């Protein structure tokens, strides 16, 4: 459903003398293929909905997900990178750590079962369901400085995920020192046989979802990636839907089964 969108958008600029216009390559509002219905999806885990919000294209978002609650992120329009940072809500000095997460599991990709660990090595959240083959946590976040370096000075006024993170961090009493390496839900960053990384066409699709369970009260910050200079968003930024549920008691079966299995293996 994604369309390639490279034309510039005229934006009214009230500060310009005579009320002129400036050209911006950043899309304004939702952009979708004409006539295509959006699949707003539903929670991947059954339970009582405690939060249900949409994130506009290009915008930041954050919420505290309580211990045991499950956040489902819906890639509403398909191939939309949701850059994500996690913090211990009670002590944000403890935050998501890429090396702890990857070294602990011995694999470069984030998939169902991946425990998202903190800078202290403790579990912050666990991926409990995932509808794309693999999720990325190596590719990093875009920003106006890196965009300018990679794509040229004509993109220096486009905001990136780093600017989204900083804006949202400010609302939470955090700042530039708290922005660390991140997760990229729905972004395709293959690790090639020779170890090279690529940021290539996405493998997600409209309505695909990922669900993460909070293992402690977790502050989740997301940037709905505004990148328009590489294919990570299909050149078509689309909305995200964020649904938090308090799982029904039956959802704890997987935990009980895991506990039983662990006890058996330990015996």
Residue ranges binding Zn ion (CB under 5 A):
142, 161, 225, 227
Which burial class, exposed, middle or buried, applies to 229 when counting CB atoms under 10 A from its CB (0-12, 13-18, 19+)?
middle
Beta strands in 140-204 (DSSP E): 183-185
Nearest residue (CB) to Zn ion, 44 versus 161: 161
- Cβ of residue 161: shortest distance to Zn ion, in angstroms? 3
Q: How far apart are CA 251 and CA 12, in angstroms?
A: 50
Nearest residue (CB) to Zn ion, 130 versus 227: 227
Nearest residue (CB) to Zn ion, 97 versus 147: 147
- Cβ of residue 160: shortest distance to Zn ion, in angstroms? 5
Nearest residue (CB) to Zn ion, 160 versus 247: 160
What are 61's strand-pairing partners? 222
- Cβ of residue 129: shortest distance to Zn ion, in angstroms? 24
What are 92's strand-pairing partners? none
Nearest residue (CB) to Zn ion, 1 versus 225: 225
Nearest residue (CB) to Zn ion, 32 versus 159: 159
Nearest residue (CB) to Zn ion, 216 versus 227: 227
- Cβ of residue 162: shortest distance to Zn ion, in angstroms? 8
**DSSP character for 205?**
-
- Kindly state the tokens that stand for 96: 């998501």
Q: How far apart are CA 60 and CA 172, in angstroms?
A: 12
Q: Shortest CA distance to 70 belongs to which of 87, 96, 51?
A: 51
C-alpha angle 89/90/93, rounded to 5°?
A: 80
- Cβ of residue 94: shortest distance to Zn ion, in angstroms? 24
- Cβ of residue 229: shortest distance to Zn ion, in angstroms? 10
Q: How far apart are CA 19 and CA 153, in angstroms?
A: 25
Residue whose structure tokens are 């989740």: 220
Residue whose structure tokens are 């911006």: 24
What are 243's strand-pairing partners? 52, 72
- Cβ of residue 213: shortest distance to Zn ion, in angstroms? 25
């Amino acid at each position: 459903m994604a369309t390639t969108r490279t034309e510039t958008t005229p934006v009214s600029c009230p500060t310009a003398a005579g009320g002129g216009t400036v050209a911006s390559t950043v899309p304004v509002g939702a952009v979708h293929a004409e006539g295509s219905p959006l699949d707003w999806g539903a929670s991947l885990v059954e339970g009582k909905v405690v939060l249900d919000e949409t994130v506009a294209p290009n915008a930041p978002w954050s919420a505290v997900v309580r211990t045991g609650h499950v956040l489902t992120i819906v890639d509403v329009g398909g191939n939309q990178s949701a850059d994500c940072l996690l913090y211990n809500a009670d002590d944000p000095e403890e935050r998501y750590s890429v090396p702890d997460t990857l070294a602990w599991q011995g694999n470069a990709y984030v998939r169902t079962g991946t425990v998202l660990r903190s800078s202290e090595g403790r579990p912050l959240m666990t991926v409990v369901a995932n509808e794309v083959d693999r999720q990325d946590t190596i590719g990093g976040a875009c920003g106006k400085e890196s965009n300018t370096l990679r794509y040229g000075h004509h993109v220096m006024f486009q905001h990136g995920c780093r600017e989204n993170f900083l804006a949202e961090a400010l609302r939470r009493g955090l700042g530039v020192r708290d922005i660390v390496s991140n997760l990229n839900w729905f972004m395709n960053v293959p690790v090639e046989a020779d170890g090279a990384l690529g940021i290539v066409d996405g493998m997600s699709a409209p309505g695909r979802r990922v669900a993460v369970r909070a293992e402690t009260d977790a502050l989740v910050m997301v940037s709905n990636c505004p990148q328009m200079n590489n294919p990570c968003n299909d050149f078509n930024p689309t909305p995200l839907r964020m649904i938090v549920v308090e799982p029904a008691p039956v959802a704890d079966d997987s935990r009980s089964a895991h506990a039983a299995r662990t006890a058996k293996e330990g015996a």
